[in-house]
């Protein structure tokens, strides 16, 4: 990367950053705004054959787009930048919900979901690049210093769901 390209990339990132939630929807924006900061995570993957795998990682959340959205970066400990994923979440007052897009180019993962509060949980539902596959993600057991994220999939239009991943997160001090 040239010095000029690096400088313009940094400028673009600084133009996205925000210091906090937009004033006109602060309460709604705190649905995901409460996660802003750094988290240590343990991710457990569940395979169809019943085996499990566990990995340690980090999950970082920050305000962006004038405080109307929250972006995160999720990665395994020690992963290089090209092996990381990011989610952009933006509150859409027209539908009183969040538009959410996850991208992990190294794994060819691209998912778009809509998120809403459901009781004391946050539930995100949508689809990825495979039209036969529905995604349901949820934030559960949300506390100031911890939460449980679950990733489920359905191959029968949402009639049944299979747990693929859980992430236990603990806020960094």
pLDDT at 129: 80
Full-model pTM = 0.91
Query: Cα–Cα distance between 61 and 34 in angstroms, integer?
Result: 9
pLDDT digits (tens, 9 = 90+) for 28-84: 999 999 999 999 999 999 998 989 999 999 999 999 999 999 999 999 999 999 999
Q: At 131, is the pLDDT very low, low, confident or very high (cuts 50, 70, 90)?
A: confident
Q: At 15, is the pLDDT very low, low, confident or very high (cuts 50, 70, 90)?
A: confident
Mean pLDDT, residues 98-120: 95
Tally of structural domains, the chain: 1
CATH number at residue 141: 2.40.128.20
Write down the mean pLDDT value for the chain.
93
Query: Cα–Cα distance between 72 and 90 in angstroms, integer?
Result: 12
pLDDT at 9: 67
Mean pLDDT, residues 93-116: 95
Name the residue range of residue 114's domain.
3-171
Query: Cα–Cα distance between 133 and 2 in angstroms, integer?
Result: 40
């Amino acid at each position: 990367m040239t010095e000029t390209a690096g400088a313009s990339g940094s400028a673009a990132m600084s133009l996205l950053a925000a210091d906090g939630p937009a004033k006109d929807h602060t309460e709604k924006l705190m649905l995901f705004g409460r996660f802003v900061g750094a988290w240590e995570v343990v991710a457990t993957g569940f395979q169809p054959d019943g085996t499990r795998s566990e990995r340690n990682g980090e999950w970082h959340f920050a305000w962006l787009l004038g405080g109307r959205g929250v972006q995160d970066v999720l990665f395994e400990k020690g992963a290089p930048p090209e092996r990381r994923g990011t989610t952009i979440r933006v509150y859409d007052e027209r539908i009183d919900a969040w538009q959410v897009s996850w991208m992990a180019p190294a794994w060819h993962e691209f998912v778009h979901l809509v998120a809403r509060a459901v009781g004391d949980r946050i539930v995100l539902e949508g689809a990825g690049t495979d039209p036969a596959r529905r995604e349901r993600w949820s934030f559960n057991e949300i506390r100031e210093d911890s939460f449980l994220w679950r990733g489920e999939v359905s191959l029968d239009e949402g009639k049944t769901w299979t747990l693929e991943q859980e992430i236990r997160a603990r806020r960094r001090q």
